[in-house]
A and B are shown apart, each in its own frame.
Chain A
Amino acid sequence: EAGVTQSPTHLIKTRGQQATLRCSPISGHTSVYWYQQALGLGLQFLLWYDEGEERNRGNFPPRFSGRQFPNYSSELNVNALELEDSALYLCASSEGQGDGQPQHFGDGTRLSIL
């Protein structure tokens, strides 16, 4: 079974640019989660999508946005990039909103802002 896949592996941008990160969940999983892991700050919850709808959002500004497509893959968009957006962005998927379902993670996209 293929795991969660994220692309690209690395992304280098400059301040003010826009970045698009992509995630393909495990087959059969309908929920996708996005996390930001900046150095020394642990995992910060960004967004949760299920069945194409945004279910919850973390404490991030509106320039962080995303969507989930009919095939359950997802995209995270970050506009007006700032230096502090440099981080590892992790995507996870789970089998919908079933109680106690673990989240399965991809290896992340390393976003570097110059």
Chain B
Amino acid sequence: AQSVTQLGSHVSVSEGALVLLRCNYSSSVPPYLFWYVQYPNQGLQLLLKYTSAATLVKGINGFEAEFKKSETSFHLTKPSAHMSDAAEYFCAVSEETGNQFYFGTGTSLTVIP
């Protein structure tokens, strides 16, 4: 089975600063990778997904993520944090076939004004 590790359960950045949320997966075969965002009292919203087309994936709200096979990583970045980015972020991986998802434990992002 897959596993996903999100380093840092809490990340704080200043408004306007770079956002970097880390995600590593365990697989020898490139899987499908996703980032989701969860605002308080809401479900998860898809930010972006990697499905082997391009290693740099652009998502909504100015976020992007780079797939690095050699590092088994899929870190999420945003050049300039906005107050509205404060939320919980989840990295997820699904296997090559089927659609079983494995979620990381989440990273809570705080944006300091």
Q: Are B43 and A105 in contact (CB under 8 A)?
A: yes
Please report which residues of chain B, range 44-86, place their CB below 8 angstroms from some CB of chain A when the two chains form the complex.
Answer: 44-46, 49, 51-52
Cross-interface CB contact of A90 among B44, B98, B102, cutoff 8 Å: B44
Chain B residues in 8 Å Cβ range of A45: 100-103
Check: A72 CB closer than 8 A to any chain B CB.
no
Interface size on A, residues (CB 8 A): 27
Bound together, the chains give a CA A42 to CA B45 distance in angstroms of 15
The residue in chain B whose Cβ has the minimal distance to the Cβ of A101 is B99
Kindly list chain B residues whose C-beta atoms are within 8 Å of the C-beta of A31.
99
Indicate if B97 sits at the interface (CB-CB under 8 A): yes
10 CB contacts below 8 A, A to B, read A42-B90, A42-B106, A43-B90, A45-B100, A96-B99, A100-B32, A102-B34, A103-B99, A107-B41, A107-B42
